């Protein structure tokens, strides 16, 4: 008389076990495996990710094997980076990953990419710059530069800047900050004394300074894109300018203007010898010799559309260009010799915008 209830109990128990195993299996499939990879002799590619949805990622390209490891932060730490991943910088053997919309900087060991901490409450952070062993600067669209205590990962103070500060360059005891405009437009460069963390000068440049480099003569070059957007011309657009600045008196020594007001130069990188600059233009990548007084009219690398990201690898002497197709699917990176010859290409994540070369 007790056989049927026992059989029913066994059936229920078996069904429960099967459901439990299924749930566990699905969970394991959904979670990325935690890796123990070492990231050396390579290039980190910053993939912004879908705007306001999903997460940005970091890809790693190994120069020796030519292998690409995708989404290395999540694979290593079993959690996503967040939205939008803006940039990465390695300092004191730690990688500082700036996550713009999440208002934070993720800190990882630069070799194994395991998380070591987080800096929070930075409004729309853009770029990280290490100053010394104890201090760093973070540019932010709160129109300031945030000073960080690196031993505690806490905010020391904020330094006022222009509108939408972006890339920064350290030269001796000074930092030059490009005020690109954020959600509007700006035309200035803020200069900060790193010993006092105070603004010592504001350089009046041209609209939308988007790239900055230091040449072999100790001069600072800045690419100003001009007012307007490529492919969306307007009546009040202005032409771009490439300017050279003396780092002692902050005077503009060279001012080379572009002709068109509807086509805007972007980005600025420099070669290993620090005597050749490269920049984006609507029909390709152009080269500029720092001793020249005029622009080249023929692109080094012909393109039908501009690279979204541009970088120079001092180890190989290659130019890297990141191509974005539609801002929703994985993209590609192309490597070129400095004579414009294509070397190879590899697939990365969604919207690759920045590179860090080990």
Structure tokens at 261: 């007001």
For residue 352, CA distances in Å to 48, 66, 98, 163 come to 6, 18, 14, 24
Quick: pLDDT tens for 23-40.
344 433 444 555 688 999
Q: What is the pLDDT of residue 188?
A: 98
The SS3 assignment for 346 reads: strand
| Predicted pLDDT at 34 | 59
| Integer Cα distance of 291 and 66 in angstroms | 36
User: Strand, helix or coil at 49?
Assistant: coil
* pLDDT beneath 50, residues of the chain: 1-31
Please tell me the total number of residues recorded for the chain in this structure: 358
Sheet arrangement for strand 165-171: 165-171, 174-179, 188-193, 198-204
| pLDDT, position 305 | 87
User: How is residue 24 written in tokens?
Assistant: 């566990």
At 52 the pLDDT is 78
How far does Cα 267 stand from its chain's mean position?
11
Q: Give, rounded to a whole angstrom, the gap between the first and last alpha carbons of the chain.
A: 75
Q: Map tokens 């930075």 to a residue.
A: 122
pTM: 0.90
Residue 268 and residue 254: Cα distance in Å, rounded? 16
User: CA-to-CA distance for 212 and 23, rounded, in angstroms?
Assistant: 52
Q: What is the pLDDT of residue 242?
A: 98
pLDDT of residue 36: 81
Question: How far is residue 69's CA from residue 325's CA, in Å, rounded to a whole number?
Answer: 21
């Amino acid at each position: 008389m007790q056989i049927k209830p026992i059989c029913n109990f066994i059936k229920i128990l078996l069904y429960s076990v099967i459901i439990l195993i299924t749930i566990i299996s699905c969970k394991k499939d959904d979670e990325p495996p935690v890796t123990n990879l070492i990231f050396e002799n390579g290039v980190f590619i910053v993939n912004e990710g879908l705007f306001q949805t999903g997460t940005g990622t970091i890809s790693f390209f190994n120069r020796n094997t030519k292998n690409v490891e995708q989404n290395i932060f999540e694979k290593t730490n079993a959690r996503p980076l967040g939205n939008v991943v803006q940039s990465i910088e390695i300092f004191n053997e730690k990688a500082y990953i700036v996550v713009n919309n999440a208002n934070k900087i993720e800190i990882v060991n630069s070799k194994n990419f395991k998380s070591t901490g987080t800096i929070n409450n930075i409004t729309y952070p853009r770029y990280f710059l290490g100053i010394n062993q104890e201090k760093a600067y973070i540019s932010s669209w709160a129109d300031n530069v945030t000073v960080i205590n690196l031993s505690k990962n806490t905010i020391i103070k904020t330094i006022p800047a222009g509108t939408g500060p972006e890339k920064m360059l350290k030269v001796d005891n000074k930092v030059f900050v490009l005020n690109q405009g954020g959600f509007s437009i700006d035309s200035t460069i803020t200069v900060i004394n790193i010993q006092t963390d105070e603004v010592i000068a504001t350089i009046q440049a041209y609209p939308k300074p988007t790239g900055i480099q230091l040449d072999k003569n100790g001069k600072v070059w800045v690419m100003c894109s001009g007012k307007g957007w490529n492919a969306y011309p307007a009546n009040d657009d202005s032409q771009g300018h490439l300017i050279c600045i003396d780092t002692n008196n902050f005077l503009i020594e060279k001012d080379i203007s572009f002709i068109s007001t509807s086509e805007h130069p972007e980005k600025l990188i420099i070669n290993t010898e620090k005597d050749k600059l490269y920049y984006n233009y609507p029909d390709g990548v152009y080269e500029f010799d720092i001793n020249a007084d005029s622009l080249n009219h023929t692109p080094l690398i012909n393109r039908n559309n501009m690279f979204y990201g541009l970088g120079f690898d001092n180890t190989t002497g290659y130019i890297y260009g990141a191509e974005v197709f539609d801002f929703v699917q994985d993209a590609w990176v192309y490597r070129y010799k400095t004579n414009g010859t294509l070397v190879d290409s590899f697939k990365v994540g969604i919207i690759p915008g920045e590179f860090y070369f080990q």
